[in-house]
Structure 1
Amino acid sequence: MKKMLAIASLLATVTGCAGTVDVVTDNEQSLVPGSKYAWGSPPPKPTITPDNADIDNDIIRDRLQRAIDIELERQGFQKGTAADARYLVSYHIGVATKQRVVSEPRFGGMMLRCGSRTCWSAYDWGIWGPPYETTRTYDYREGSLIIDFRQRDGDKLVWRGIYKNTIWDGVKLDERRVQDIVFDVLKRLPK
């Protein structure tokens, strides 16, 4: 069983399909399922850069808000106005460029050795020769989505879901992919 779980997590890591989700909750306050919610203040408009132009824009924001509304309704939450809601829901999108350093072992082959009168070849460090390592550095983008539930009275954070994943070039955030990400975060809401 452990071997199957290890293989599944390795496949998810290699393919980049699944991101990581962390949940932060308040120990003093609990999120009550089926409560009314309203949208809190919208996240500030980002400064458009080549790193975030395909992820943080009005189209993706509309898709996110629709997907959050659909998933909360599916889980029994009721959308209301800010005056009668128990929670204010908001979200934040972030994109960061990071660097990763990868070291890979390399193995040599036959070694040529020369003495005072002759040269000969021999394997050194076993059959493959001495090991050595190559290191390369590359840039990548990491995207995150944060969904917050705050008490309307007092503006206290009650529940936060954080989704992080590497953004691969060529991967588009279509409607279905946005819904999958939102579902992945909000399935961790208390039942």
Structure 2
Amino acid sequence: MFRRLLLITSLLALAACQSAQLDSDYDPNRDFAALQTWSWQEPAVQYRPDDPRLRSDLTEQRLRQAVAAQLEQRGLRQAAANAAADIRVQAFLMVENRQQQMATYYGSDMMSDRWGGHWASPGYTEVRTLDYQVGTLQLDFLDRDGKLVWRGSAAQIVPRHAGSPQERAAAMQQTVAKILAQYPPRGR
């Protein structure tokens, strides 16, 4: 029973970690209000590691659509083909394999016999290793000179089952919206 309770607690702790960890950085000397147009920096999406199991035209299409929709909501227009844009957007999809070890100590029990003697049963430690993957989506905004002006990212545990195409698209839209909620930087 105790082991089941510990396992359930561990799984709840990992589930709590599934919320996206957001981060952003930017050039504080940049006038973000002056940036009105954007285009893709080619290659628009890069994968780390460059693994054919990760690379997907469908994922790239979902990402491009989500970024375009979010930037439009923020008042940025996509530049016409071959026109110079104020910023160029590049995305990175990264997946890392990670491990977490969890140790549980089962302590000794103190016993006594009817003659007043005391003794302890030995305790032991059980160590479990959990293997999981962390996925990071990073969006970089580069100026016309190719200098980074803003970077936003979201990292979270990759679920074992990705879901239907509609669920994948919704997850991509939500993640991009969370990242771009940090753009433009305000009050910093």
Smaller-chain TM-score range?
0.7 to 0.9
Give the equivalent residue in structure 1 for 2:92.
Answer: 92
Structure 2: tracts of 5 or more residues without a match: 1-11
Q: Between Structure 1 and Structure 2, which shows a larger proportion of helix residues?
A: 2
User: 1:57 deviation in Å?
Assistant: 1.4
List structure 1 runs of 4+ shifted beyond 6 angstroms: none
How many residues align? The count is: 166
TM-score w.r.t. the length of structure 1 is: 0.74
Equivalent runs, 1:97-176 vs 2, <5 Å: 97-111=97-111, 120=117, 132-152=124-144, 154-172=145-163, 174-176=168-170
Deviations 1:6-52 (A, max 9, x none): xxxxx89634441101101123334336611111112346332xxxx
Give the equivalent residue in structure 2 for 1:47.
Answer: 51
Given that 1:22 and 1:161 are in contact with CA atoms closer than 8 Å, whether structure 2 keeps it comes out as: yes
Distance 2:34 2:116 in 1: 80
Distance 2:158 2:105 in 1: 27
Structure 1: tracts of 5 or more residues without a match: 1-10
TM-score w.r.t. the length of structure 2 is: 0.75
Given that 1:31 and 1:159 are in contact with CA atoms closer than 8 Å, whether structure 2 keeps it comes out as: no
Distance 1:12 1:182 in 2: 25
The share of aligned pairs that are identical, in percent, is 25
Partner SS, residue 71 of structure 1:
helix
Residues 30 and 100 (structure 1 numbering): CA distance in 2 closer, same or farther, change over 3 Å?
Answer: farther
Query: Quick check: 1:18 aligned with 2:19?
Result: yes
Name the Cα RMSD after superposition: 2.9
Residues 12 and 19 (structure 1 numbering): CA distance in 2 closer, same or farther, change over 3 Å?
Answer: farther
Distance 2:29 2:162 in 1: 40
Give the equivalent residue in structure 2 for 1:80.
Answer: 79
User: 1:101 deviation in Å?
Assistant: 1.4
